[in-house]
Amino acid sequence: MKAVTIKQLKDELSHASANDIKQLCLHLARFKKENKELLTYLLFESHDEESFIQNLKEEVDIQFDEINTNSFFYIRKSTRKILSSIKKHIRYSKKKETEAELLLYFCKKLKTFKPSISRSTRLQNIFDTQVRMIKKAIEKLHEDLQYDFQLELDELLENE
């Protein structure tokens, strides 16, 4: 089965009743975990972005504490898992401020992680890539926010 375009979906949904749309959303939520997470964000968390970010930071703290530090392989694997979770939540939010703040937080946690990421080229590459992503996100923000986030980024990078 080939999926139809967004425009076709939009046109079809415009003809559906509110109850039909509600049933479709509930069916989507039952079908896949990410759909349920997105609906949860949209219905319960999107109105309070600060709380959403704080909850994610706490989740990231827990995940970093649970990393198996026996080898860099496990550290890399866990780090990529944490990063993919962060990126998924960034996609839910679609806000560049949220993206910049969460990626900065991830990089700070990675930078202060023991054993040091500087001993692993791959972990250092993950860090460098995220710094580039932060810079791109900062460029798209309002000037005042750009300044604040740039200060945080400079502080993170000056300790290298």
Instruction: Give the whole-angstrom CA distance, residue 63 versus residue 105.
Output: 13
pLDDT of the residue at 31: 86
Query: What is the predicted pLDDT for the residue at 158?
Result: 85
Task: Give me the pLDDT at residue 160, please.
Answer: 58
Q: What does pTM read for this prediction?
A: 0.87
Residue in 143, 49, 67, 48 with CA at minimum distance from that of residue 106: 67
Question: pLDDT truncated to tens, each residue of the chain (160 aa)?
Answer: 788 898 988 898 898 899 998 998 888 888 888 989 888 898 898 899 999 999 999 999 999 999 999 999 999 999 999 999 999 999 999 999 999 999 999 999 999 998 888 888 999 999 999 999 999 999 999 999 999 999 999 998 886 5
* Spatial separation of the C-alpha atoms in residues 37 and 91, rounded to whole Å: 11
User: CB 16: neighbour CB atoms within 10 A?
Assistant: 12
Q: What gap in Å lies between CA 124 and CA 81, rounded to an integer?
A: 16
The span from the CA of 97 to the CA of 46, in Å, is 13
